[in-house]
Amino acid sequence: MGSLILVMGEKGGVGKSFVAETLIEYLFSKGVPVEPWDSDRSNPFIYKRYEQLCKLAIFSEGIGFQDAANPLFLAAEQATVVCDTPAQLFPALSQWIEHNDLLTLSQEVGIHWRIVWPTDGQPESRALLQKTMRYFGKHAEFVIVLNNGVVKDPSKAWIDFEHDTSLRQVIQASRCHIIEFPILNGVEQLRVINQKNLTFTAALTHAEFDLIGRQRIKYFLRNAYAAFDEVPCLQSIWMSHEDKQRA
């Protein structure tokens, strides 16, 4: 029994890759043997971060790529897989799922779908979220990530999200949890992390960061991990791993 976690957003600029990396680091911190995957061919952020661990998946509507994403699903049968995805994935993803009847197969073999959805709260992001949630229905658990790191004013950014009646109806009918994602302060820290493709774990001991720089990263991770701790479908992953370790 495994987990297939897709970090989606369907539009650019919502922080998918950043959230994906933080989630991978969170699960590693819980002792979960995560398999990082990347399907963003134009900007393989996660692959660059975890080059020794990460695998690549290709989603495409092209007939020559019918089997290109299959290894991702097969890996999730026995492991916890976290896959970062590009924008505008839905057409290729839904085609792959439907052509292989994967939602039915998932139930038969015990693969749990989790969709982690970073959002900036804008109308396009909300509309794409509704579309994706309606598609998966009860077949996937959703984690909606209100990403404070990509909005101008976190105190006002989520007002329209909270008052979106049609979205609220879809959320209430789905298996869903909503969290707020913290900001990583420190322009210089982010520049160095991205320039050198450092994981957060590596950044905590990186020589270019002083005491305050490292503390900023620790503070961000502490807050991000606390938010993930509140998500039942993520709790179940690391708690199940702990149970197996005790057995």
Mean residue pLDDT across the chain: 95
pLDDT of residue 240: 85
Distances (CA, A) of 214 to 33, 40, 65, 133, 164: 25, 29, 43, 38, 38
pLDDT of residue 198: 96
Say how far apart CA 198 and CA 175 lie, in whole Å.
Answer: 34
Dig out the tokens for 131 from the structure: 């579309």
Asked if residue 155 has pLDDT above 80, the reply is yes
Which residue type is seen at 220? F
Say how far apart CA 211 and CA 205 lie, in whole Å.
Answer: 10
Cα pseudo-dihedral 169, 173, 176, 178, rounded to 10: 20
pLDDT of residue 244: 79
Asked if residue 8 has pLDDT above 90, the reply is yes
Q: What is the pLDDT of residues 204-243, one digit of tens each?
A: 999 999 999 999 999 999 999 999 999 999 999 999 888 8
Range of the domain at 112: 2-246
CATH (domain of 41): 3.40.50.300
Q: How many domains does the chain have?
A: 1
pLDDT of residue 71: 97
How much is the pTM?
0.96
